[in-house]
Copies of this chain bind each other. A is one copy, B any other.
């Protein structure tokens, strides 16, 4: 790991900080996989990571802090974003990626734990808000290109199209407690495209800005 090699004359704080972070995240993943969010314990994570408890408390404060860090780490690469020139392919790919993300034994409890915490914890709510704003904005790039190609109405709100691909998964996981499967992914993408094409997600001039 080249980041761990100290530059001449430095104390390599970055390397040590990064190693602690990596160990704590790996321990958090392992604990979530074994016991779920309800049992996530700062003490256990510190023990498994081989890091002083005081360090874990100082840097992450509580289980929410661990989840916030873990989710930023997990998801940056794990739901691939397509931009193929076909909005059908791109959104189906996004829906399948979300489906896979939530069929994973670590990612699902990590994200649902953060969502749960965020109902009451403003720090977790802000982390979720920022995370989805960034993610949805990246994913919306393919929608912007579809609008440019003339495949969707010119006043379409690209972020709203992306939100609507994700929404059915959260509804089933959190609200109606129904399984998510490939049919959900298929319908989520098909519905987002049909609604966008019909102009359901166009922004009126008075709603802009």
Q: A residues near B, CB below 8 A?
A: 36-38, 112-113, 115-116, 118-120, 125-126, 128-129, 132-133, 136, 160, 163-164, 166-168, 170-172, 174-178, 183, 187, 190-195, 197-201, 207
Contacts and interface: CB of A to CB of B under 8 A. Distances in A.
B170 A187 contact: no
A31 to B, nearest CB: 15
A118 B178 CA distance: 12
- Give the number of times this chain occurs in the complex, counting copies: 2
A176 B163 contact: yes
Contact of A198 (B132, B163, B194): B194
B191 A195 contact: yes
Most chain B CB atoms below 10 A, which of A118, A160, A175, A197: A175
B195 A190 contact: yes
Nearest to A36: B120
Contacts of A136: 176
Nearest to A184: B160
A129 B177 contact: yes
Contacts of A119: 37, 112-113, 115-116, 174
25 contacts: A37-B119, A38-B120, A115-B119, A116-B119, A125-B177, A128-B175, A128-B176, A132-B176, A136-B176, A160-B187, A163-B171, A164-B167, A166-B175, A167-B175, A170-B170, A170-B171, A170-B174, A170-B175, A174-B174, A190-B195, A193-B200, A194-B197, A194-B199, A195-B200, A197-B198
